[in-house]
Structure 1
């Protein structure tokens, strides 16, 4: 498990992290979200001992990363997909990482095959696309078969098939009981990939919730289609709901859930042609929570 307690980091007069605390549990994919300058990269760098906190602690399995002997066996991390010498081949890059942690060549070949790079294993990295470098970074993270995976923007540069691949890979790793933490700016992709979200802004935790809880808590309304819209609207209003009609067969209902609406319609023998609960998207919730924490904002467009 990853545990971050009261983590504070100052760079001179700049406060990058402000008593940040959170936990990341095994068996789920956790998304780490926040606007530019929120402190995500700083927190990840402290987790792998590339930076040291001003105060507080960041622990992986009850230890700091720099206290772990042969850390690749316990933690696989990709914070920069481009951090590999362009003159090396993919195989030699991974082999050097493996050797530093007592990992054999057979495992290097295995992870290259796992990420789909076996055909370019002996090509130099200078000719790799960003998507290929992302795959290579993930291969490096998996070298030691670690229980904890940390990834910063893992889908940058990947095409549609690559994005689907990384999504299924992360979910399968979590299903094996591993702890998976990834940051990304792609809200639509995070909504499909993660089970739990940590949203930070200005170095502080703004929200920690499961995707299921978020969908329930930020439910907006229910879209109903019925040929007897007026009659159903009257019934639902009597149940305390707020009902808006388009003048035809559609109703937008707030204040009661889909189960209640379906039950009321059945009791009155009113046919339903559609019953669709609608909730805020992850992007909606993210933007609402981080509105005051955004570091940069474009000026609003002026009316012509």
Structure 2
């Protein structure tokens, strides 16, 4: 039975206005002698998808749990709309989250699981039916949670996050267990939610997927903030090459190398490193060499992420350099 919903994502009503911003302020969380989060500060605003990135053990899940009041900070605070989660009345109307798709009673049906959550926050049964339709689970609503595939349980977790039509959403590794169609669906969903003016924070280890989904990133390592920037700013910061097309590649290559640049050929073009685009243009003009294209190329999100977090990785596979 297919559970793919190809209809455009639309909310049942306008999102609640409370709690449009996530703020983490000097957050520290200790477990015994271990610091899972260490003086972490960042903010997540509405209208964009923010990727929460870092190696295993970087403190991402602990931070999300602190935002949701599931872990008490050792010091500092995590706020939603200026309030602690515990201070928000009927919080599902303001904050939705998917942290663990397995956190549902296996003996309940998908419908009953959502109905129990809905009742706790004064949400009617019609909304339960609506979110099951929205995530493509209407056809298995009466199936027990324990009999659902991992991908279906992920969708059920998304449905629970959407129950209160909240203005703030947190997703921890939401594509786990989803097939390619499901991954495309969750990507469209998150971008649609952000386009409606909601605040969306999503953690993931799939850099290729984050490159297609996120507008901004918060990168952490060993519980500390490494970088907070837009995806474009991150790519520009780790710019690698300048792509150059010219009808006289041999002559331009010689001139560039004489100026100290590194040049390699790729698909009929030159990839130039160690000299920026204005410098290449000036050199070509001085040598009277025509240039048909001059395009700076940033690093991929994966390349930038790996370079940023290189010193924060605790476990490496054998055979690596470090």
Shorter-chain TM-score above 0.5:
yes
Assess if the C-alpha contact under 8 Å between 1:236 and 1:261 holds in 2.
no
Quick one: distance in 2 between partners of 1:237 and 1:249?
Answer: 18
Structure 1 stretches of 5 or more lacking a match? Answer: none
How far off is 1:270 after superposition? 2.9
Q: What is the 5 A alignment of 1:8-47?
A: 8-47=28-67
The equivalent of 2:183 in structure 1 is 163
The question of 1:188 aligning with 2:208 is answered yes
Which sits farther off after the overlay, 247-256 or 70-79?
247-256
The equivalent of 1:144 in structure 2 is 164
Per the normalisation by structure 2, the TM-score is: 0.86
The question of 1:281 aligning with 2:281 is answered no
How far off is 1:279 after superposition? 2.0
Q: What is the 5 A alignment of 1:215-254?
A: 215-233=235-253, 242-246=261-265, 250-254=269-273
The equivalent of 2:318 in structure 1 is 299
Assess if the C-alpha contact under 8 Å between 2:257 and 2:263 holds in 1.
no
Assess if the C-alpha contact under 8 Å between 1:258 and 1:276 holds in 2.
no
- Please point out which of 152, 157, 161 is paired with 1:132: 152
Quick one: distance in 2 between partners of 1:269 and 1:230?
Answer: 11
Alpha-carbon distance change, 152 to 229 in structure 1, aligned in 2, over 3 angstroms: same
How far off is 1:293 after superposition? 1.1
Report Cα offsets for 1:257-300 as digits up to 9, x if no partner: 389649957x957364x655432111111111111111212221
Q: Tell me the SS of whatever aligns to 1:180.
A: strand
Quick one: distance in 2 between partners of 1:83 and 1:247?
Answer: 49
Quick one: distance in 2 between partners of 1:250 and 1:262?
Answer: 18
Alpha-carbon distance change, 175 to 264 in structure 1, aligned in 2, over 3 angstroms: farther
Alpha-carbon distance change, 263 to 95 in structure 1, aligned in 2, over 3 angstroms: farther
Assess if the C-alpha contact under 8 Å between 1:32 and 1:183 holds in 2.
yes
The equivalent of 2:132 in structure 1 is 112
Q: Tell me the SS of whatever aligns to 2:251.
A: helix
Q: Tell me the SS of whatever aligns to 1:154.
A: coil
How far off is 1:63 after superposition? 0.3
How far off is 1:216 after superposition? 1.5
How far off is 1:235 after superposition? 6.2
Per the normalisation by structure 1, the TM-score is: 0.91
Assess if the C-alpha contact under 8 Å between 2:244 and 2:291 holds in 1.
no
When the two chains are superposed, the root-mean-square deviation of aligned CA atoms in Å is 2.5
How far off is 1:217 after superposition? 1.6
Task: Say how many residue pairs are matched.
Answer: 299
Quick one: distance in 2 between partners of 1:247 and 1:97?
Answer: 56
Quick one: distance in 2 between partners of 1:213 and 1:17?
Answer: 25
Alpha-carbon distance change, 259 to 137 in structure 1, aligned in 2, over 3 angstroms: farther
